[in-house]
Structure 1
Amino acid sequence: MTIAIEYEAEKKLELPFETIIREIVLAALDYEECPYEAEINVILTDNEAIRVMNKEYRGLDAPTDVLSFPLVDYNVPSDFNHVEDAVEDYFNPETGELMLGDIVISVDKVEGQAESYGHSQTRELAFLVAHSMLHLLGYDHMEEGERAEMERRQDAILESRGYVR
């Protein structure tokens, strides 16, 4: 399992961010029953850097809390049946790991949203990682039914590791 974490923000989160990220990534993979060793990249950055990415990739010129860049195409979320048909597209040839994608998180948003929602920065970071992991596993929240299903899964992942409001 490769969980690469890069900290690019000047502002430091005063919490064990690497531990939280790794724990939630593994919890999401367990919950979704991913049958492969996986590779995930996580970048912790600031509002300005994520604003630039949000503008470039989503056409929205504003900072956001988290961006997800999935590398696997799913017909059905967390359905891995097709990935071995395209090994060269989905697996790292050096490690054999399934390359799920990248997560980019704004540490400024972690701090601000934790305060706004009245919970800890630890819980906010865990939530953003769980949310983004579900995107990397094919889930979305464009429609009400999808949103409700994603929220149910996020809550289950967080609760499985004791991250509650």
Structure 2
Amino acid sequence: MTVFIESECDFKFDFDHEKIANDVINAAMDLLEFPFEAEVSITITDNDGIQAINKEFRDIDSPTDVLSFPMIDYEEAGNFDHIEASDDLFNPETGEVILGDIVLNVPRIYSQAEEYGHSVLREYAFLIAHSMLHLFGFDHMTEEDASVMEEKQREILDYLGISRD
């Protein structure tokens, strides 16, 4: 597995953010039984950075907590059967499936951790777990879909022992 992490802003977490990102991505892949090695890119930015990306790609001119850009179109969320038939989904140099990009907003990570009454580490891990599910084709547009995502997010964080302390 390859995780590329790019920082576009100055920030300081009191935990190893690269290790946590790798742990969450691995846990998501394990729990969803993703059958390939994978590549994920994470960009860590601030309100202005994520607002610019949100405007450019979603035509929404406001900051958000996280953005996910899946590289795979799924007929059914979490069904990976079709991936092997698509050579263009694999990095030709590594053979890894290119899952997509995650963009995290540091100020929102801090404010939401405070708002929800849990640690910054938990919020950071939660947003990566949430994004990984989007990279696997899950969404939360209906109550039923949101419920499925919430359960899978909980499973990933529980698997890692990251609670809502």
Q: Does 1:137 align with 2:161?
A: no
Mapped contact 1:27–1:161 kept (Cα < 8 A): yes
Q: Which runs of 5+ in 1 are unaligned?
A: none
Q: Which runs of 5+ in 2 are unaligned?
A: none
Identify which range, 16-25 or 128-137, moves more after superposition: 16-25
Shift of 1:33: 0.2
CA distance in 2, matches of 1:21, 1:85: 28
CA distance in 1, matches of 2:24, 2:57: 25
CA distance in 1, matches of 2:52, 2:66: 13
- Written as runs of structure 1 = structure 2, the 5 A alignment for 1:8-27 is 8-27=8-27
CA distance in 2, matches of 1:83, 1:25: 18
Residue in structure 1 matched with residue 64 of structure 2 by the alignment = 64
CA distance in 2, matches of 1:76, 1:11: 37
Give 2:127's aligned amino acid.
L
Mapped contact 1:41–1:101 kept (Cα < 8 A): yes
Mapped contact 1:13–1:107 kept (Cα < 8 A): no
Superposed CA RMSD: 0.8
Mapped contact 1:90–1:99 kept (Cα < 8 A): yes
The percent identity for this pair of structures is 51
1:132-154 deviation line (CA, Å, top 9, x unaligned): 00000000000110000000000
TM-score w.r.t. the length of structure 1 is 0.97
Shift of 1:13: 2.5
CA distance in 2, matches of 1:75, 1:143: 17
Shift of 1:34: 0.4
Give 2:23's aligned amino acid.
E
- Written as runs of structure 1 = structure 2, the 5 A alignment for 1:56-135 is 56-87=56-87, 89-135=88-134
After superposing on structure 2, the runs of 4+ consecutive aligned residues of structure 1 that deviate more than 3 Å are none
Number of paired residues? 164
Q: Does 1:6 align with 2:6?
A: yes
CA distance in 1, matches of 2:158, 2:9: 28
1:94-137 deviation line (CA, Å, top 9, x unaligned): 10000000000001111111011110000000000000000000
- Written as runs of structure 1 = structure 2, the 5 A alignment for 1:150-165 is 150-165=149-164
CA distance in 2, matches of 1:18, 1:85: 31
Shift of 1:58: 1.2
CA distance in 2, matches of 1:33, 1:114: 29
Shift of 1:12: 2.4
CA distance in 2, matches of 1:11, 1:4: 17
TM-score w.r.t. the length of structure 2 is 0.97
CA distance in 2, matches of 1:6, 1:14: 18
Give 2:15's aligned amino acid.
L
